[in-house]
Amino acid sequence: MKLFFYLLLFVAVVAFGLTFSLKNPQLVEINYYPDIVIAAPLVVVLLVTLLLGVLIGVLVMLMSQLRKRRQLSRAKKEILKLTEEVQNLRALPIKDSV
């Protein structure tokens, strides 16, 4: 059922993209810094912009996830060290202070 839903969603997005590209075939000029002009179809400009946004979002999310994994590994090492210390303290004989 989930696969069917994703397939249906994919077909709908592709159909929307195709109809959008057929209805908007005009060229768009992009004026970048001095003397750089790029002419491309509107659909290509929007698609490149969308893909760049997705790429930047994935990179930011990946950096955050890597930082969390590093924190988790540090915490696990600290837990191992503390449990070892507790086991060593439990193994020591108790002294009476009378």
pLDDT at 95: 75
Write b or e for each residue in 33-44: b if 16 or more Cβ atoms lie within 10 A of its Cβ, otherwise e: eeeeeeeeeebe
Please determine, for residue 9, whether its predicted confidence score (pLDDT) is greater than 80: yes
Write b or e for each residue in 17-26: b if 16 or more Cβ atoms lie within 10 A of its Cβ, otherwise e: eeeeeeeeee
Domain coordinates in residue numbering, the chain = 2-81
pLDDT at 55: 97
Q: Cα 53 from chain centroid?
A: 11
Please determine, for residue 98, whether its predicted confidence score (pLDDT) is greater than 70: no
Q: Does pTM top 0.85 for this prediction?
A: no
Please determine, for residue 25, whether its predicted confidence score (pLDDT) is greater than 70: yes
